[in-house]
Amino acid sequence: MQKFTAFLASIAMVFMPIKATLITVMVLTVVDLISGIMAARKEKKRITSSGLKRTIIKTTVYEAVIMLGFLTEQYMTGDAVPIVKVLAGFIGLTELKSVMENIERISGMSIIHLLIDKLNQSDKK
């Protein structure tokens, strides 16, 4: 058991430099889950375990992709290509767009259009 604990600690130390990225991806998927549940409740749709299962699978895949990208960047390409940032950027934008869509479903209005309208109104003043 002690060797297994030491092995897990070693793995955790390897991925320590991307801890913040992994946490950010996790937070984005949880926010997407919560906003998706809120939107489904507003639309009176059933919330099923299969939908929650998809979120768990998606989060696991996202985290694995980030970790594999980190290993590739760290041990194969070096600083030549910022693989982790590119992958995290794509994942982050995907989740952010999903959250924005859920907020739009909840509120009934496009947040982007609302912000543009507000900015246009301030220009007229």
Rounded CA separation 66/25 (Å): 9
| Backbone torsions φ then ψ of 84, nearest 5 degrees | -60, -45
The whole-angstrom separation of Cα 118 and Cα 125 is 11
Q: Which two tokens stand for residue 104?
A: 């739009």
Task: Indicate yes or no: pTM above 0.85.
Answer: no
CA distance 72 to 30: 27
Per residue in 25-62, pLDDT (tens digit) is 999 999 999 999 999 999 999 888 888 899 999 999 99
Domain ranges of the chain: 19-124
